[in-house]
């Protein structure tokens, strides 16, 4: 079984400031790691994923996350946020050993970018 | 671009009534998932189908919830009777099946259920 802990439920920042959303996970097997973004009353959109290879993964809109196996973390960062980044962000894991396995999500972090 | 379709987008019902949600996955996707997202929490899997077969329904409250995917394409999730605690967003996702690689899950827009 897996579990995901997102350490901050709410993160308020000012526009153009850097931000880090923290995620730790627990699993007895190897996992894939994900960050999803959710805008109000919408479904989930995949932001970025770690499957294998380089531990630093990037999205097309400037977010990046680094897989740290020793610390079992997958923190999300952006060097300069925009108002449009305001949304709920979910960290998730899935079991590498079972094809099509469920996603296990954290509780979410509400990122609010203020002008 | 292919998308997962869900309907209705919003549903308001009174407790003890029956409700049903529909999901049409991306064409060709054999795996279909129903997740429930309670306000302020992350989504949790209710049921997973591979074609028409249930492969995981361990978190489905079977006394009141049922799910079917009769022809292995679209799916219906039903609640009868609805309770106040069922108020949530119900998300459907689908993925293809490739046993040699990771299969990304694509999410629909969700159905927001409010039970009064």
pLDDT at A87: 96
**Percent of chain A surpassing pLDDT 90:** 76
List the single residue in B9, B31, B91 with the smallest CB-CB distance to A100. Answer: B31
Q: What is the mean pLDDT of residues B104-109?
A: 92
- Among chain A residues, CA nearest to B57: A102
Q: Beta strands B111-115 and B10-13: pairing type?
A: parallel
pLDDT of residue A96: 81
Quote the CA–CA distance of A88 and A36 in Å, as a whole number.
Answer: 8
Is the torsion defined by CA of A42, A95, A52, A54 positive or negative?
positive
Asked whether the predicted pLDDT for residue B26 surpasses 90, the reply is yes
Output the CA–CA distances (angstroms, integers) from residue B82 to A6, A73, A81, B17, B77, in the order listed.
Answer: 31, 38, 41, 6, 12
Minimal Cα distance from B97: which residue of A? A100
pLDDT value at position A99?
65
User: For residue B92, with 0-12 CB atoms within 10 Å meaning exposed, 13-18 middle and 19 or more buried, which class applies?
Assistant: buried
At A41-90, the pLDDT tens digits run 788 999 999 988 888 999 988 999 999 999 999 999 999 999 999 999 99
A102 touches chain B (CB under 8 A): yes
- The set of residues, in sequence order, having a beta carbon less than 8 Å from that of B95 and lying 6+ positions away, is A100, B29, B31, B33, B103, B104, B105, B106
Residue B88 is predicted with a pLDDT of: 96
| Torsion angles phi and psi, residue A81, rounded to 5 | -95, 155
The per-residue pLDDT for B33 is 96
SS3 A98: coil
Per-residue pLDDT tens over the stretch B32-91 = 999 999 998 999 999 999 999 999 999 999 999 999 998 889 999 999 999 999 999 999
User: In this structure, are residues B97 and B33 in contact, taking their beta carbons and an 8 Å threshold?
Assistant: no
How many percent of chain A have pLDDT more than 70?
98
Q: Does A100 touch chain B (CB under 8 A)?
A: yes
Residue A97 vs residue B11, higher pLDDT: B11
Could you give phi then psi for residue B84, rounded to 5 degrees? -55, -40
CA B108/CA A4 separation, integer angstroms: 23
pLDDT for res A68 = 94
pLDDT at B30 > cutoff 80: yes
The answer to whether A10 contacts chain B (CB < 8 Å) is no
């Amino acid at each position: 079984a897996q579990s995901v802990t997102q350490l901050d439920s709410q993160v308020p920042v000012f526009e153009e400031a850097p931000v880090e959303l923290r995620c730790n996970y627990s699993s007895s097997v190897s996992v894939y790691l994900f960050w999803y973004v959710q805008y109000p009353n919408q479904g989930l959109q995949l932001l970025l994923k770690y499957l294998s290879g380089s531990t630093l993964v990037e999205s097309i809109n400037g977010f990046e996350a680094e897989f740290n196996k020793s610390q079992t973390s997958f923190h999300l960062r952006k060097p300069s946020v925009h108002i449009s980044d305001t949304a709920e962000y979910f960290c998730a894991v899935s079991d590498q050993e079972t094809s099509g396995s469920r996603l296990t999500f954290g509780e979410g972090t509400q990122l609010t970018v203020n002008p | 671009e292919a998308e997962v379709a869900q309907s209705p987008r919003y549903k308001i019902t009174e407790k003890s009534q029956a409700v049903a949600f529909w999901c049409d996955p991306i064409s060709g996707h054999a795996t279909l998932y129903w997740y429930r997202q309670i306000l302020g929490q992350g989504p949790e899997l209710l049921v997973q189908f591979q074609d028409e077969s249930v492969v995981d329904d361990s978190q489905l409250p079977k006394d009141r919830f049922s799910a079917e995917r009769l022809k292995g394409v679209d799916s219906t999730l039903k609640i009868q009777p609805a309770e106040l605690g069922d108020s949530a967003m119900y998300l459907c996702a689908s993925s293809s099946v490739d046993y040699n690689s990771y299969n990304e899950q694509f999410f629909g827009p969700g159905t927001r259920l409010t039970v009064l």
